[in-house]
Chain A
Amino acid sequence: MSSITDLIRKEIENLSTDATRTNVGTITTLADGVAKVEGLSKVMFNEMVEFPNNILGIALNLEEDSVGCVLLGDTSSLKEGDEVRTTGKLLSVPVGKALLGRVVDAVGRPIDDKGTIDSDQSSPVEKIAPGIIPRKSVDQPLQTGIMAVDSMVPIGRGQRELIIGDRSTGKTTIAIDTIINQAKINKQGEKSGDPNFRAVYCIYVAVGQKNSNVARTIKILEEAGALEYVIIVSAPAADNPANQYLAPYSGCAMGEWFMENGMDALIVYDDLSKHAVAYRQISLILKRPSGREAYPGDVFYLHSRLLERSARLNENSGNGSLTALPIIETQMGDVSGYIPTNVISITDGQIFLETDLFNKGIRPAVSVGLSVSRVGSAAQIKAYKKVAGKVKLELAQFRELAAFSQFESDLDASTKARLDRGARIVEMFKQGAYSPIPVEVQSAIMWGMQNDFFDSISAQDIQRAVESLKEYLSAQGKDVCDEIYNSGKLEDSTVQNLRVAFEDWKRTFA
């Protein structure tokens, strides 16, 4: 009898156990979404740690005998002395096409009442940006559908173009317009069945915004039928600073998935000023040394490592791209602030929006002098480049002359012609919110402007003329637009057809 039990006991002893080793610590202080933890000697930087009640945190400060963690989620149930354990995992978020059309929080959990997201893939939130070898220079256009942008500050796939301006100058509108335009192009391309067509998927990251604003944005995208191509990552102002700090990186991980799988994606960070403020808050509570404007020393790295993850990959690496449109809010038009100068130096150009122009009714309020795109012109389609090449110079000259001409009574003919042309271009660039124009129509309108078809129309009537021309081009003039769309060039025959179309339109427009 006893020998049998001994046998069984031996058997049990030989069985392998399933012991796990975790590294633990205890909360010593807890304030403002940040916990100081004693112990956790084996925690990794940026590792996810687990607090009681399934609350997650991230280890951000590894000090000699304590660890500073930011908490994600409701911290009201935590108290001093609670046990914290390591998880051995870096924070990751779900990625993939299943997220399209959804609204998620900073860690990728759905917040839109549309049920769970069945995505079987996830990706770490923090990742090293692609190096030099897999990259390629920007050579494909990303059409925003906004004439003032596509003509003067063209954006290419894989570019990082900053949208900067004071509060309420139409920054978000430019980004949303761009997303709506991508959705339009995607639908058109998918319908055409062209195997070479490359859709652009969009990610909109809302950081530190009012919930009402985010809701409005979602509604606009939904009404425009664009939501099915968009992932919205929301960390509103009421969210804790840790989530606001993380949201851009989470969104970027979702965008990178498209890029790494050979697709094109566009990501909007709205906005990085609030992101920097959230990071400053965390850093001050973590007692990191603060520098200029009380931002911590690594605030440059905060944005550079994020924006460097946008890239255009070459054929060997799958040919994907991630275009970034970060948004920065300035105070009183001051682009020399700390955060604005940092982000300007990281990006490949900026669209500067001026309050003065916006209030004068020149919307979108793109400043000609201060807006640039350092790489995008290489990606403009040939037809458009041909007609839009001079427009920036013409407008700049117009602004200069307009300032002087206020004091002059009689002007010589050539100055007057330039002023007239400039005034008409300004009118032509006025464009309502959420009504992007296809690139071929833009090219046609611009061609008409360069070939003096608008000269006989007074400046006040230009907008009406552009509206009627848009209508004409989508009906009778559709063939010539298709020609531009398909070839991407302005052949002699296309020019001929354009001339005929414009003469025809001119007769109908009174």
Chain B
Amino acid sequence: MKETILETKGLIKYFYNPSKFQVIKNVDLKIQQGEFVSIVGKSGCGKSTLLYLLSTMDTDYEGQLFIHNQLITGQSDQNLAKIRNEKIGFVFQFHYLLPEYNVLNNVMLPGLKLGKYSKKELEQRALKHLKTLEIDQHALKMPNQLSGGEKQRVAIARALINDPLIIMGDEPTGNLDRKSGDVVFDIFKKLATEFNQTILIVTHDPDFAHKTDRIITMEDGKIIS
């Protein structure tokens, strides 16, 4: 039997500004180890909002969130930061790299924070990931010297550095041209098939979604399929 990586029970979220309205409506969700899942839906239906809840960054919700069968809801800021560091890898639409650090250091940073491996080992691991993503030749460049697609691959390498339980992405190809988008998708695919990495990607690109293992469709804050 496969392990459950992510689970929600009756997830509800309201926005109060400008007026009270419910963005997430009673979402029950289960994601198993090794699944490559995409969340699709019309713009404004609450995909991003749901992902931020799952990412533990947004704590203002009702219902329960479990990661690896551990209840996350109600944990302290300190613990949540630790869980994000250790168990979740993020890739955003806009490649958020730290402009002050070079590519290699950007990838290593969450690892340094975790402190599980020495700096030397982390460097080796970071280079290995960069090699898998075929950007190791840019390891010593600064982020502003890279193209959009390359930056996104660096962000994926960073997401991988602590061997997370799950990688989450909010439209990671949304800001890329077709070709770079395909390269990024192929990388996710490869991670899922070759390394059995659990991946959850929000997208509004139907082509992207159709190539994933499982599609979750949202409408108006609810999961409809």
Is chain B found bound to chain A in the same assembly?
Answer: no
Show the binding face of B for A, using Cβ within 8 Å. none
